[in-house]
Amino acid sequence: MQAEIIAVGTEILMGQITNTNGAYMAKQLAALGIASYHQQVVGDNAQRLADAISLAEKRSDIVILIGGLGPTPDDLTKQTLAAHLNLPLVEDADAMAKLAARVKQQQRPMTPNNKLQAMYPQGADILVNRVGLAVGAWVEQHQHAYVLLPGPPKEFIPMVDHELLPRLAKYSGHHEAFVSRVMRFFGVGESQLVTDLGDLIAKQTNPTLATYIKDHEVTIRVTASGETQADAEAKLEPVIGAIMEREGRYFYGYGDDNSLAKELVKALVATDKQITAAESLTAGAFQAALGDVPGVSDYFKGGFVTYALATKAAFLNIDARELAAHGVVSEFTAKAMAEHARQRAAADIAVSFTGVAGPDTLEGQPAGTVWIGLARMGQAPVAQVYHFPGGRNDVRKRAVMTGMMIALKSLRD
């Protein structure tokens, strides 16, 4: 059983985007034990795309097409595959309803190009798009399987995980049932994780382990197959246990549609606690990340961006002379920011960030030096210093995520 990935998009050929989807898909194929000896990239051109499909089906059993399902005239992957397989395109009622609602919300007319997003080659299995409007498809014909997947990674990854992988496992497979769990870690590098778990990864066959790094966090997808769901689940558990035993202190949650911010909001809901923040170098990024989570408004009423010393004093009622005496990059300032913000916002818990994003040094401290404070009602505030690697925005991003991890652990304690 061989699979071949065809990434479709002139943007890839022009180098405007990197083919990260190809890498993600390839990793999943490898984890499932499906061989892949070729990949192709073609532009948004029907003839060249049809040629690429013809070439792929000569040498591979599964042809995976990524990209070109959108509403613009240069999105033609779906039409091209359907024509190649001599199948008409038909409408999916659910996807069409979702599309119609979106079009109505935007007060735009429904164009034929737009409608194509809700269509699929007749006889295909729909691959549901949980994030966007374009449906994917799984088509079997003449001993081959053909797959249509959307290009935007935020649509592509959930569709692969939830819709495609079970079908691939079954199609390639020995086993009927297939379970997979994503474990999320922050504060540990991928290479360290791979080293720590080297023996588990080396002997992987069932379950398989696939690590993935993005935006400073690492995920491990653990995938098991078996005769039944329960059988597969049973194979999963001991491996997850072994991973937790070694890496539990970096683990923060399960699931591919998860984030530190989501887990933090879940913990706020569970403990019924209000959060606030006072941000210097992160300039609002911690609070903005909280705001990403729907429903946060019951647990987060507002906070402060205190970029300069003067605003730290003025917005938070901290003594300006004391601030000046201790400096911006100090334990005192981190603690004072957290505790004063907590009181000003009448919150249960507050996180503060103060330090050196870079590129320049500040108060003689190198870029990457960050104090993160934590204030909790009825407890003395605490603060800890970090030395984050990377450029200005890596430092700021890591600071935000570390602050979330600190708040999360404190709420879970």
Site for a second copy in 258-297 (CB under 8 A): 277, 279, 281-288, 290-292, 294, 296-297
List the one residue from 16, 86, 143, 205 that touches a second copy (CB under 8 A).
Answer: 16
The first and second tokens of residue 410, run together, are: 């404190």
Question: Per CB under 8 A, does 128 bind a second copy?
Answer: no
Residue 90 CB, nearest approach to a second copy (Å)? 25
Question: Per CB under 8 A, does 385 bind a second copy?
Answer: no
Q: In terms of CB distance, is 118 or 124 closer to a second copy?
A: 118
Question: Per CB under 8 A, does 45 bind a second copy?
Answer: yes
The residue among 123, 121, 16 whose CA lies nearest residue 65 is 121
Contact 264/276 with Cβ under 8 angstroms? no
Q: In terms of CB distance, is 122 or 297 closer to a second copy?
A: 297
Q: In terms of CB distance, is 141 or 206 closer to a second copy?
A: 206
Residue 77 CB, nearest approach to a second copy (Å)? 16
Question: Per CB under 8 A, does 201 bind a second copy?
Answer: no
Packing angle, helices 331-344 and 309-316, rounded to 10: 30
Omega cis (within 30) before 150 = no
User: Cβ of 168: how many Cβ atoms within 10 Å?
Assistant: 24
Residue 230 CB, nearest approach to a second copy (Å)? 26
Question: Per CB under 8 A, does 384 bind a second copy?
Answer: no
289 CB-near residues (< 8 Å, 6+ apart): 259, 260, 261, 400, 404
For the segment 46-75, give every residue that binds a second copy (CB under 8 A): 48, 52, 55, 72
Q: In terms of CB distance, is 270 or 314 closer to a second copy?
A: 314
Cα 219 to chain centroid distance, Å, stands at 9
Task: Round to whole Å and give the CA distance between 333 and 367.
Answer: 17
| DSSP-assigned states of every residue in 167-214 | HHHHHH-S-SEEEEEEEEEESS-HHHHHHHTHHHHHT-SSSEEEEEEE
Question: Per CB under 8 A, does 193 bind a second copy?
Answer: no
Q: Which stretch, 136-144, 155-163, 207-215, 234-242, contacts a second copy (CB under 8 A)?
A: 207-215
List the one residue from 29, 53, 183, 265 that touches a second copy (CB under 8 A).
Answer: 29
For the segment 313-352, give every residue that binds a second copy (CB under 8 A): 314-315, 344-345
Residue 354: Cβ-neighbour burial (10 angstroms; 0-12, 13-18, 19+)? buried
Q: Which stretch, 13-21, 115-123, 141-149, 330-338, contacts a second copy (CB under 8 A)?
A: 13-21
The first and second tokens of residue 144, run together, are: 């081959």
Q: In terms of CB distance, is 170 or 344 closer to a second copy?
A: 344
Task: Round to whole Å and give the CA distance between 383 and 402.
Answer: 12
Question: Per CB under 8 A, does 102 bind a second copy?
Answer: yes
Question: Per CB under 8 A, does 305 bind a second copy?
Answer: yes
Question: Per CB under 8 A, does 36 bind a second copy?
Answer: yes
Amino acid at 182: V
The 8-class DSSP code of residue 163 comes to I
Q: Which stretch, 34-42, 142-150, 230-238, 317-325, contacts a second copy (CB under 8 A)?
A: 34-42
Q: How many residues bind a second copy (CB under 8 A)?
A: 86
Task: Round to whole Å and give the CA distance between 353 and 370.
Answer: 7
Q: In terms of CB distance, is 271 or 361 closer to a second copy?
A: 361
Task: Round to whole Å and give the CA distance between 135 and 69.
Answer: 8
Residue 243: Cβ-neighbour burial (10 angstroms; 0-12, 13-18, 19+)? buried
Q: Which stretch, 81-89, 117-125, 170-178, 365-373, contacts a second copy (CB under 8 A)?
A: 365-373
